[in-house]
Every structure is written in C-alpha cells, then in structure tokens.
Amino acid sequence: MLSSTEQPVGAERYLLLIPPMTQLNTPYPSTAYLTGFLRSQGVCAYQEDLALELVLRLLSSEGLRQIAELASRETAGADRPATTAFLARLNDYVGTIDRVISFLQGRDSTLAHRIAARTLLPEGPRFSSLEVFEGDEESGEDSLSWAFGVLGVQDRARHLCTLYLSDIADVIRESIDSRFEFVRYAESLAASQPSFEPLSQALHAPTTLLDDILQELTEAAMQRHAPRVVLLTVPFPGTVYAAFRIAQWIRLKHPQTTVVLGGGYVNTELRELREPRVFDYFDFVMLDAGERPLLALIEHLQGRRSRAELSRTFFRDLQTGTVTWVVGTEPDVPFSAVGTPTWDGLPLSRYLSTLDLLNPMHRLWSDGRWNKLTVAHGCYWKKCSFCDVTLDYISRYDAPAARVLADRIEAIVAETGQTGFHFVDEAAPPKGLKALAEEILSRGLKISWWGNIRFEKSFTPELCQLLADSGCIAVSGGLEVASDRLLALMEKGVSVAQVARVTRGFSDAGILVHAYLMYGFPTQTVQETVDALEYVRQLFEEGCIHSGFFHRFTCTVHSPVGLNPQRYGIELQPLTAGTFAKNDVQFTDPTGVDHEALGQSLSKAIYNFMHGIGLDADIRSWFRQRVPRPTVPRNFIAKSLQATR
C-alpha cells in the first residue's frame, strides 16, 4: 500500500474528509478504512480530519479573541453565565489556552502540577461540579481528591482542563452558535428529520464564525490536494450540517470536483431519500459499506460504466431532476479483502486526551488515542429487537481469519507507533476474539485493547483470562433492561443471572466492565424499572461492573419493534411524510409510564454508583416520585455468583 508521499504523479486524487463534529481524542475510523482500501486498489487517496482542525482553530489564543469579539456584541443582560465569566477573565483564557491544548496533546506534561493546584486556569460555571459529589453532601469531600488522591496529578489536571474547555464550549453555545457541541454540531437539523427544509434554511442563512473557519479549512484542503473526488463521511446526525457546508463551498469554488456523501447516518436515515435538493450539494449519496460503491464510482468516472450501473447509490437524474436509486448486483467486498486501515495524513499527535468523567472505565471513550479496528463486519447474533438488524452494517456478518486481523494490528502499530486498540464492532464474536487472542499471544504482540461484546455464556472465566492475557483491558456490553421478562421479549439471549456471572468473570480477570442500560422499552412497568435499578446496584456492589449508562429506548423503522409493533404491545404513531431522513418513530405504550421522569432518577443513581456512592441505600431513595418497593432480593446477584462456585 502506498503512503501519501508515494502516490503516483498525475493520478486522479480522492480526498476523504471527516466533518465536524466527532471525537476529540482519536479520529473516526471510516476514512482510515476507505483510504487504506482505495490505496490497496492503486487509487491516489488522501484524508483529513476537519473536525479536529476546526476545534484546534477555535481553541487557540486567536480563536478565543474572535469568540470574545463576537460575544461582546450580544445584547447585555442576556442569561449568559459562561460568557459573562469568560469575558471577565478574557486575558487569563487567552493566556492559557495554547498551553492547555499542548498539555492535552501530551506535549507539555510538566504543566500538570500548576493546573492541578488550581492556580493557573480561570474557572467558570462548569467548575462548580467539583464541590461535592451529588448524594455526598454531608462529607463535602472534594471529588478530585476522592478520585485521584495525591498522586494522580496528570489525571487531575486533565479533568480540570476538560472543565475549562467545557466552559468555552458553553460560551460558543450561548453567544456564537447555539447548535455547537464538541462531539456534535447542529444535530437537530438532521436527526430523523423528514423534511430537508430546516437544513436548507440553515445552509442559506448568514454564516457563523464556525462556518467561516470551516470554509477556510475546506479551501486549504482543496488547495493542498486538488482532488478530482471528495468523499464526506457522516457517521452521526451531528456531522451532517458541517458536511453540507463543506460541500456547499466546494460546489461554489470547485464545481468540477465530484462530491460524494456516505457514512453511518446515510446508511441508517437516508435509505428512502427522495429530496432532489440534496444533489445541489452532492453528486452521489452511497449506502452501506463503501468499498463496492466506490469501485463502481471509480469505473464510472473513468468512463467504464454508466450511472445506471453504479452500486447502492443515489443520484439526481439529469433529465427529470428526480432522485434515482441504483441498488447494483455485485457482491460486497469481503471483509478480509478491504485492506488495512491507514491513519496516514491524520495528525495523530494533535488529538486531545480529555477526561470528562472520573470513572476509570468511562474515561476510555475520551482519553487516549486508540487505533479503531473491527474484528468482524456486522453482528453474529443479529436478533435484538431494538436494533437495526435489517440493515447491512448489522445483518451481513463477515469475519476474517485471526491471522488477517493480527497482520492488520501489526501494520497499524508499525505505522502509528501506538499499541492501543478499540474494537468498534456492534458485538465482537467470542469465537473470533478467542482466535485473535491466541494469535496475538503466539506472535508475542504487546498491545492493549477493548471493545463491545454480548454478555453471553461463551465468555467463560477461562476465556476472559485468555483475553486479558492478550491485552484486553475493558469490555462494554448491553445489559439493556435488567429484567428477564424484557430481556426475553427483546431477544437479547441472556438473563440477569448470566450477565452477573459473565461480567464477574471479566472483572476477576482484571478487565473493566461497562454496561449499556435501557429504560422505556415497550410494556416496561414502573416496578420493572425499580427492579432493574436494584439489579444494577447489586452488580456494582459485587464488583461485576464498573460503569454504566442509561439511555432511553428509541423505536426505529428498521428494527423488529418498528417493523412489528403489535408483537411488543405498542402502537406506532404515523410518521410525518417527507423526502429526507427517516429513522426514529414515536409510539404509544399502553402502560402509560412516565419514563422521562424515571430516567432522571436512573441517571442520578448510576452516576453515584460509578463513584462508589449510595450502594447501600434503599433503591427507592433515588427516585423523585413514589415508587414501589423492589421485588428483587437484595442478595440476588451474590447468590447467582455463588451458584457457579
């Protein structure tokens, strides 16, 4: 595979861009995969992360001066606590921002001592979270001292810097662009949005500071690479607006360039695209795994196939102006043949390791630059009724041999010099992980890795130990609703007792465990919600899990629940007719439970559980409203674990 400096002179160039906003600590992997694949096919391909570049431009001394200038023009007296604090100490912010960024990039570690002493950084409203842990008011214990003690200076400083950046993000949101967040941008314009009109209006509105910077970055990338084709990958709704802004600029200044849209958001929400205005910005919109559609596009641009012979691609008919869909008949490129991802061209030393939560497992998502890799394409289980099991990224399971994965790992370590891997599978297969662990050990590879799994019985204590020996440091998995009735209804294929045993096996092997949790699943009662939280409390108490997150169940049109709602006892509400995005669907649950109110209590409880607080309290004390006593025995998990010994 050719590197960026070895590309053939005069070859047509393909530029892959990551639009704002994604993670700050590591690049999103889609461009790395596709760049590696295109280069393996002899295509001259480059990649850039405009999400990172935009953040670094904002979070600089010059960027803060621009923010302050715009923020100071806003109407006085508006409710802008972060902005007020920021403007009052502007010189302190401008004088520290470049040093903070350097520290978070790992280039100025000795600054940690001054930061940790809380004598260097200006402190805005976000720092109020340091006073005490919620639920621990009586002790008044400083949360940083509790979490890091006297030796964790680097981590303490990183957390303080994260609060500092969060204050700045609040200023941008209050006074520059209310749609801004570090990990998403203008999400509501695209998420399950049936009409293109809100996004269209935003794209024709006067530009913001963020838009202007993004325009400059786009033009700089175009000048550097002079591409024939630009590929924009949008994994989430919070990257869509910026992708359209980038395409808008390319259309205006470089009309000869072909612009293509793809990615996870497209694969999920634009499967029934009928909006012609999308093609005022993009020439083609591609679905599912990008390798086969890109090969077809390359041949089309070379004059070797017509538009009608493309693969899984939307375009606007040149005569009628309507949207045309070509499904194609060629098989997908096997996962073993997609090549090794490459991060060549991405500024790996400039990503920011932040620390927003103090929990040691939770921090993995934002702390450290992980090489993201996939063990297998799709999901080997593909039965969970809440999941989009009908879509290609779930339904088409394709697992390469362990030696292929190990070869990719070795190549990535050689390229990046970094040995940490995040396996980003929906659910990494236990058989595949076992084979990979054995291959890693046989080659003597010294890496660290973590990823998502199902808490199924195949993960025996022996397998957990093998995975730990190969470098596994953490796993995350879906417990979802901790209720055997609901686990059966959602076809999760596990029970609460089984999850306890599996997670304890990982924990005993020294592997951190994160549980994805769900509330509001169809027909879930208040009693089941209370019982679920009691199960979760016991899992924390017994050391089975180390962190977790409760999210509200969302019904999607591609899931078994969305396709067959009667089976789950609900009635779908009619979708708004539209020509753009289609994904989430509202429903009526006959139980009538106020899940929104319960969700606030669940979030508060698990936040405290993750910090070892309140594990001995009556579970009902976390709820704001009166709830029934749990029906779960307080030693249920302990007994489940004893049954296996």
Residue-wise pLDDT tens digits, 625-639:
999 999 999 999 999
Report the distance separating Cα 200 and Cα 278, nearest Å: 9
Higher pLDDT among residues 444 and 131, named by residue: 444
Predicted pLDDT of residue 138: 43
Instruction: Write down the pLDDT at residue 146.
Output: 53
Of the two residues 183 and 410, the one the predictor is more confident about is 410
Q: Model confidence at 135, in pLDDT bands (50, 70, 90)?
A: very low
376, 338 in Cβ contact below 8 A? no
Q: What average pLDDT score do residues 149-153 get?
A: 65
* Whether the Cβ atoms of residue 468 and residue 434 lie closer than 8 Å to each other: no
What is the reported pLDDT for 2? 57
User: Which residues have C-beta within 8 Å of that of residue 93, sequence separation ≥ 6?
Assistant: 64, 86, 122, 168
- Length of the chain in residues, anyone? 645
pLDDT at 131 exceeding the cut of 80: no
- Say which CATH architecture domain 4-51+188-336 belongs to: 3-Layer(aba) Sandwich (3.40)
Residue 157, pLDDT > 60, answer yes
pLDDT category of residue 130 using cuts at 50, 70 and 90: confident
Q: CA torsion angle for 70, 72, 76, 79 (degrees, to 10)?
A: 70
Q: Give the range among 329-343, 350-364, 387-401, 448-462 with minimum mean pLDDT.
A: 350-364
pLDDT of residue 166 exceeding 90: yes
Asked if 4-51+188-336 and 370-642 have one fold, the answer is no
pLDDT band at 359 (very low <50, low <70, confident <90, very high): confident
Buried b (16+ CB within 10 A) or exposed e, 504-516: bbbbebebbbbbe
Cα–Cα distance between 449 and 111 in angstroms, integer?
29
Instruction: Name 185's bridge partners.
Output: 180
What is the model's pLDDT at position 605? 96
Q: Cα(614)–Cα(621) distance, rounded to whole angstroms?
A: 9
pLDDT at 609 over 90: yes
pLDDT in tens, 33-58: 999 999 999 999 999 999 999 999 99
pLDDT in the model for residue 141: 47
CA distances (Å), origin 358, targets 129, 146, 158, 537, 547: 12, 10, 10, 19, 11
Domain 370-642: which CATH number of 3.80.30.20, 2.30.29.30, 1.10.540.10, 3.30.499.10: 3.80.30.20
H/E element holding 548? Answer: strand 547-552
Separation CA 556–CA 577 (nearest Å): 16
Tell me the three-class secondary structure of 440-507, residue by residue: HHHHCCCCEEEEEECCCCCCCHHHHHHHHHHCEEEEEEEEECCCHHHHHHCCCCCCHHHHHHHHHHHH
For the residues 95-116, what does the mean pLDDT come to? 97
With 0-12 / 13-18 / 19 or more C-beta atoms within 10 angstroms meaning exposed / middle / buried, residue 244 is buried
With bands split at pLDDT 50, 70 and 90, how would you rate the model's confidence at 358?
confident
Confidence check: pLDDT of 145 > 60: no
Torsion-angle region of residue 345: left (phi > 0), alpha (psi -120 to 50) or beta? left
- What would the mean pLDDT of 276-302 be, rounded to a whole number? 97
pLDDT value at 612 more than 50: yes
Distance CA 18, CA 9 (A): 25
Residue 139's pLDDT is 41
Residue 203: per-residue pLDDT: 98
pLDDT digits (tens, 9 = 90+) for 488-526: 999 999 999 999 999 999 999 999 999 999 999 999 999
Using CA atoms, how far apart are residues 393 and 377, in angstroms rounded to an integer?
7
Tell me the average pLDDT across 127-137: 62
Region of poorest pLDDT, from 75-89, 284-298, 475-489: 75-89
Which residue has better confidence, 643 or 193? Answer: 193
Q: What ranges do the domains of the chain cover?
A: 4-51+188-336, 56-182, 370-642
At 539-580, the pLDDT tens digits run 999 999 999 999 999 999 999 999 999 999 999 999 999 999
Residue 291 reports pLDDT greater than 70: yes
Mean pLDDT within 192-210: 97
- 367, 357, 365: which is closest to 609 by C-alpha? 357
Chain segment 404-418, per-residue pLDDT in tens: 999 999 999 999 999
pLDDT at 588 over 50: yes
Above pLDDT 90, what percent of the chain?
90
Q: Is the pLDDT of residue 448 over 60?
A: yes
What is the rounded average pLDDT for all residues in the chain? Answer: 93
Which among 364, 365, 358 is positioned nearest to 611, based on CA atoms?
358
Q: What pLDDT is recorded for position 133?
A: 44
Report pLDDT for 129.
83
157's CB contacts (< 8 A; 6+ apart) are 103, 111, 112, 113, 115, 116
Separation of alpha carbons 451 and 425, rounded Å: 7
**Preceding peptide of 21 cis, ω within 30°:** yes
Give the dihedral sign, CA 593/595/597/600: positive
Q: DSSP class of residue 288?
A: S
Res. 137 pLDDT band, cuts 50 70 90: very low
Average pLDDT over residues 309-328: 96
Output helix, strand, coil percentages for the chain, rounded to the nearest 5: 45, 15, 40
Q: Are strands 472-480 and 448-453 parallel, antiparallel or unpaired?
A: parallel
pLDDT-based confidence at residue 622 (cuts at 50, 70, 90): very high
